[in-house]
A = this chain, B = another copy of it.
Amino acid sequence: MADFEIFEASNFVLQKGAVLPKVHLAYKTVGSLNPARDNAVLVPTWYTGTHTDLETYMVGAGRALDPGKYYIVMTNLLGNGISSSPSNTAAPFERGRFPHVTIYDNVRLQHMLLTSRLDVKTLRLVTGWSMGACQTFEWATQFPDMVRTACPIAGSARTANYNKVFLLALERALTLDPAFNEGFYERPPVAGLRAFATIYAGWGTSEPFYRTEMWQAFGSRNMVEHVSDFWEPFFARCDANNLLSQLRTWRDGDISGNATHRGDFAAALRSIRARAIVMPVDNDRYFPPVDSEYEASQIPGAECRVIRSAWGHMAPMNPGDVPAIDAALRELLAG
């Protein structure tokens, strides 16, 4: 019994021009829409994340995103293995032939779900972590009248070059494994996924995380053991084509990459009308606060509120950093 539902769209035209005959958006809702229809909250997933991860780390009774108070819609990113992905799409777009989808495509499909199926006309809050934050920025840009408040956490409105060189290294390492076979592998490219995980280990947390040996809290005895205990299993479970599909979606994130804004990033940010708290993490290596501060400076009335954590980009996974995040979400929800 699947704990999620599927919204299907036909002949879905992607931002880059390809057409998917059928596209599936997997989603899960918790809580219920109030009579005023003003308590809907959208929470898109992060890189490799699913609606189940959202329920583990962001949504639940006692959290700011409380299903007892809000109608919470959790959407799965295209490419995550549950929504349409290389691993679950039929020929001619299966595996290594899955087309390039963008953050814009994800947000447009989510908008179709909300307006045509769920009858949601306004969003009290859009929030997400990492690629979920990238989707949050895109939502506030594409549908400024629909998004009341926004809280992008450890993500950006346009993927920075420094972030992209990290992604380029990940892509080159994974595809170097001869088992990858241009996406038509018979067995997982285990060595490639292992190299991918090791590169990620150098960016996912932070220098102080390593200097203070925070892996000891998880029982790992040294750095190599930490990489093999946490990072290698984290990515070993993932489908390589799905990782690359989501990676390219991440790489090309840019709220101004559309016909309206034509690359004018500042204008795209200035067009946002949602009340926004942009929340970077001080030790985040690939979504550094300096970019968030610029974004907040351009979004009318926005605040940049920095999370202080040695967990770096992974801070939202750390229970100790949850109170700061929930406090910001509660402020926005209180409106």
| Range for the number of chain A residues in contact with chain B | 35 or more
* A162 cross-chain contacts in B, Cβ below 8 A: 202, 207, 209-211
Task: For residue A1, give the distance in angstroms from its CB to the closest CB of chain B.
Answer: 40
Q: List A residues 189-203 near B (Cβ within 8 Å).
A: 191-192, 194-195, 198-199, 201-203
| Protomer copies | 2
Contact indicator per residue, chain A 217-258, by CB within 8 Å of chain B (1) or not (0): 000001110010000000000000000000000000000000
Task: For residue A10, give the distance in angstroms from its CB to the closest CB of chain B.
Answer: 35
Question: A166 at the A/B interface (Cβ < 8 Å)?
Answer: yes
> Which of B164, B191, B198 sits near A169, CB closer than 8 Å?
B198
> Which of B165, B176, B195, B291 sits near A202, CB closer than 8 Å?
B165
Task: For residue A156, give the distance in angstroms from its CB to the closest CB of chain B.
Answer: 12
- Given A160-B210, A161-B211, A227-B165, do A176 and B192 touch, yes or no (CB 8 Å)? yes
- Given A168-B224, A178-B178, A207-B290, do A173 and B161 touch, yes or no (CB 8 Å)? no
Considering the chains assembled together, what is the distance between the CA atoms of A195 and B169 in angstroms? 6
* A191 cross-chain contacts in B, Cβ below 8 A: 172, 176
A209's closest neighbor in chain B, by CB?
Answer: B162
* A177 cross-chain contacts in B, Cβ below 8 A: 176
Assess whether A202 is in contact with B172, with CB atoms less than 8 Å apart: no
Task: For residue A220, give the distance in angstroms from its CB to the closest CB of chain B.
Answer: 11
Assess whether B202 is in contact with A173, with CB atoms less than 8 Å apart: no
Task: For residue A286, give the distance in angstroms from its CB to the closest CB of chain B.
Answer: 9
Considering the chains assembled together, what is the distance between the CA atoms of A288 and B211 in angstroms? 10
Question: A53 at the A/B interface (Cβ < 8 Å)?
Answer: no
Assess whether A201 is in contact with B165, with CB atoms less than 8 Å apart: yes
Q: List A residues 70-110 near B (Cβ within 8 Å).
A: none
Task: For residue A248, give the distance in angstroms from its CB to the closest CB of chain B.
Answer: 13
* A224 cross-chain contacts in B, Cβ below 8 A: 168
Contact indicator per residue, chain A 286-308, by CB within 8 Å of chain B (1) or not (0): 00101100000000000000000
Task: For residue A306, give the distance in angstroms from its CB to the closest CB of chain B.
Answer: 15
* A194 cross-chain contacts in B, Cβ below 8 A: 172
Assess whether A176 is in contact with B164, with CB atoms less than 8 Å apart: no
Question: A331 at the A/B interface (Cβ < 8 Å)?
Answer: no
Considering the chains assembled together, what is the distance between the CA atoms of A210 and B194 in angstroms? 27
Task: For residue A266, give the distance in angstroms from its CB to the closest CB of chain B.
Answer: 15
* A209 cross-chain contacts in B, Cβ below 8 A: 162
Question: A182 at the A/B interface (Cβ < 8 Å)?
Answer: no
Task: For residue A87, give the distance in angstroms from its CB to the closest CB of chain B.
Answer: 22
What 8 A-B pairs are tightest by C-beta distance, nearest first? A162-B210, A161-B210, A172-B195, A161-B223, A169-B198, A169-B199, A165-B202, A173-B173
Interface residue ranges, A against B (CB under 8 Å): 160-162, 164-166, 168-169, 172-173, 176-178, 191-192, 194-195, 198-199, 201-203, 207, 209-211, 213, 222-224, 227, 285, 288, 290-291
A-B residue pairs in contact (CB < 8 Å), sample of 20: A160-B211, A161-B213, A161-B222, A162-B207, A162-B210, A164-B223, A165-B202, A165-B223, A165-B227, A169-B169, A169-B173, A169-B202, A172-B191, A173-B176, A173-B195, A173-B199, A176-B191, A178-B178, A199-B199, A207-B290
